Amino acid sequence: MNNLTSRQKIMFGVYSMILAMIGDYLLGYKTIGTSSSPEAYMGITWNVVPDWRYATSSILGFMCAALFAVGAVEVISVLDKKYKLGNSKLFKLFKISNWAGILYFAFIHIGICMLPVVFNAGMEVTGDVQISVNMVFRVLKSIAVPLAVGFIVCDVFVTIAWIGMILKKMIPVKIIGIICCPVITALLGQLMNYISEGADSGFESFGWLLMYLICAFSLVNKEERV
């Protein structure tokens, strides 16, 4: 690992998000969808999807977290040592969100993957959508707080920090780069649902991918080691 350049290390963040996106689509694509059909419970169609998709998504979440740790450590080091942002509140926010992401990216895939598996089990035993959905909501209540906190600390904080650092010209990234962050891409990704339900699943991770790709090619030179 010591032989790698800073760019190569930051690129681990990109690789991690490729895995995360695959996991996101395994988890979210065609799992549920909005519907005006009278048969839809709560205005949503609930689909039974093979359990292997959720098991694979959980594994990819763990792999994502491990690779992301390499990229996160390096990009934080570059911003601190090369750009001298150690005292900046925006940098501290960025650092907190990235450190939190190392744990959150594994947890979110496992935590959320539990929900459709519970639904599948409910459908297998009862064959009743309403009962199965209520089982899902019961499990969701037990993990809702850490999921919400994780989203705020990771995605919202990093989006605020990223946009702020660009607007204040603290990092050499063009203004268009402000859209390359998780909350913005997640919002833009909602448009994909008009093409196919669940097509937006990987767009939050795509924002992280773009952010790390920009960091790899804008913050350091090809052979630079910080």
On whether residue 178 sits in a domain, the answer given is: yes
More confident of the two residues 46 and 221: 221
Start-to-end C-alpha separation, the chain: 13
On whether residue 70 sits in a domain, the answer given is: yes
On whether residue 221 sits in a domain, the answer given is: no
- Structural domain of 103: 6-216
The predicted model gives 86-113 an average pLDDT of 92
On whether residue 222 sits in a domain, the answer given is: no
On whether residue 108 sits in a domain, the answer given is: yes
How many domains, the chain? 1
Predicted confidence (pLDDT) per residue in 111-141, tens digit: 888 999 999 999 999 999 899 999 999 999 9
On whether residue 224 sits in a domain, the answer given is: no
- 165: confidence class by pLDDT, cuts 50, 70, 90: very high
Predicted confidence (pLDDT) per residue in 14-27, tens digit: 999 999 999 999 99
